[in-house]
Amino acid sequence: MNYSKQRSLILSILSSSEGHLTADEVYNKAREVNERISLGTVYRNLNALSEVGEIRRINIPGANTIFDKNAHKHLHFRCIKCGKIQDLSGESIDKIVDNFEQKTGNKVYSNDIVLNGLCKNCKTGENCVKA
């Protein structure tokens, strides 16, 4: 894959982010560095990077698509109140996928598993800020 200045900038933004970003959030951060970058360029590059497996595109029903710098298989948790998305590190779905493939004969190539609930702060009523 060729890396233009724009693609490198977008990958850098995702790599340095603390959490998951929407295309609009990536675009706003990219404009701080390159005011000439277009939203279309950001979308094209995010899609290209996710297609080659450098980043992960996560489609969440009822929410914006987010992009994750961690392209490895892992689960996510989304707070239904504040919208905060968290990685569930150490949680593996390999056993579930292997079992499904063995029972059905199907082959799984990708998955987007998002657990929905309330984050600790929203659950206790504390101030919660989306990461």
Predicted structure pTM score: 0.78
Lookup: tokens for 57: 């595109």
pLDDT band, very low/low/confident/very high, at 4 (cuts 50, 70, 90): confident
Q: Which domains does the chain show, CATH number per domain? A: 1-71 (1.10.10.10), 73-131 (3.30.1490.190)
C-alpha–C-alpha distance, residues 36 and 53, integer Å:
27
Confidence of residue 59 (pLDDT cuts 50, 70, 90): confident
Q: What confidence tens digit (pLDDT) does each residue in 86-108 have?
A: 888 765 777 888 889 999 999 98
pLDDT at 55 over 60: yes
CA 65 to the chain's CA centroid: 7
What is the separation of C-alpha 80 from the centre of its chain, rounded to a whole number of angstroms? 16
